[in-house]
Amino acid sequence: MKLKSPRARFFISIAIGAVLLFISGRVDELRSYQGAQVAIFAIAISSIVLLTGFSGQISLGHGALMAVGGYSAVLVQSHLNLPYPIAFLIGGAVGGAAGFLLGIAAARLQGPYLAGTTLALAVGIPSLANQFHILGGEQGLTFDIGTAPSWIGKDFSQYRWFFWVSVIAALLNYWLLRNLLSTRYGRRWRAVRANPTAAALAGINVGKAKVLAFTLSSAVAGLAGSLYAMLLGLVAPLAFTLTLSFTLITGAVLAGVSNLGGSIVGAVVLVAIPEISGSITSHLGGSEKVTSNLPGLITSVLLVATVLFAPNGPKWPRRKHQ
């Protein structure tokens, strides 16, 4: 069995999953929560890698697509009483549908115009929740997937359960995307990103490829949004700010924007920064001015430094055909 074949990847993913789940029983609740955060961010970042790193389109509004997925999952569970795994999948599906519409518009728009549209989207979509009462308004809708099933064992804290669910979803997502990117779709996207004119001349339907990429990327973002809702226990407009969209891009760049495996690295860095800056400020002792602005400062400096010195991400073992 070749190491790169889908079958091999599948077993490797299972192995990684098993190791992680084993570890989860040994760490405290806070780390479980953070682990779940990392897994969810990794999924969200992978959606950016797919869209930007592979098909060359930019979106500043993926936070809004996460919101679409999150709200869909919550609504479906509370109004239709569907079990939460289905709710997650529907969150992804609705996100994908939104991405399809957006992708059609996006295919006609060039770089900065697309950026502008997605920027307006990031601000406009979450505030729609205030328009329609069914969307819960400012304080949002609660989302409860319940605790771990009894057959898993006792002493399974809520956060550990979230960690399991998120990790399983992240592994599945990674496996699916990795396989997809090594098919002809992946090759088409890379061709479009590198040189759309040449790609078109080579017979690739550029518009179609772009729309497909946008749709899939949004579906992944929608899935991430549903899991995010699970973790927070609610969806609310304020949970999906413009900052979230910018954070996703930051994570993607830190990882190497065309490096799918790097999504984890980006996610870890994003979750680690507030922790690290918190330790720094508690050791140095700072005024409130410092403590509240330091995380943002560190993230921004990191972002600028990364894009300046390592635009393709840190020296991560890279595949030849990237």
CB of 265 to another protein, least distance (A): 16
Least distance to another protein from the beta carbon of 180, Å? 18
Q: Which residues pair with 235 in a beta bridge?
A: 141
CB of 80 to another protein, least distance (A): 22
Indicate whether 117 belongs to the interface with another protein (CB under 8 A). Answer: yes
Interacting residues with another protein between 2 and 41 (CB under 8 A): 28-30, 33, 37
Longest CA pairwise span in the chain (Å): 61
Count other Cβ atoms within 10 Å, centred on residue 212. 18
Q: Which residue in 99, 142, 158 sits closest to 229, CA to CA?
A: 142
Contact between 118 and 58 (Cβ < 8 Å): yes
DSSP 3-state of 166: helix
205 near another protein, rule: CB under 8 A: no
Closer to another protein by CB, 15 or 297: give it. Answer: 297
Q: Which helix (H) or strand (E) holds 259?
A: none
48-77 binders of another protein (CB under 8 A): 52-53, 56, 58, 60
DSSP for residue 223:
H
Residue 73 CA to its chain's centroid (Å)? 16
Radius of gyration for the alpha carbons in the chain, expressed in angstroms and rounded: 20
Q: How far apart are CA 178 and CA 3, in angstroms?
A: 13
- Does residue 95 belong to the site contacting another protein (CB under 8 A)? no
172, 180, 232, 280: which one contacts another protein (CB under 8 A)? 232
Is 82 a binder of another protein (CB under 8 A)? Answer: no
- Least CB distance from residue 234 to another protein, whole Å? 6
**Minimum CB distance to another protein, residue 108 (Å):** 5
Enter the tokens of residue 59: 């979106």
Q: Is 321 in the site for another protein (CB under 8 A)?
A: no
Helix 62-80 vs helix 206-232: crossing angle, to nearest 10: 60
Q: Could you tell me how many residues of this chain bind another protein (CB under 8 A)?
A: 84
Site for another protein in 130-189 (CB under 8 A): 130-131, 137-140, 142, 144, 158
Nearer to another protein, 182 or 291 (CB): 291
Q: Which of 127, 175, 176, 178 binds another protein (CB under 8 A)?
A: 127
Place of tokens 């919550």: 74
Q: Which helix (H) or strand (E) is 171 found in, with range?
A: helix 158-181
Binding to another protein in span 252-311, by CB under 8 A: 253, 257-258, 274, 278, 288-294, 296-297, 299-301, 303-304, 307-309, 311
Can you tell me which of 19, 85, 233, 316 binds another protein, judged by CB under 8 A? 233
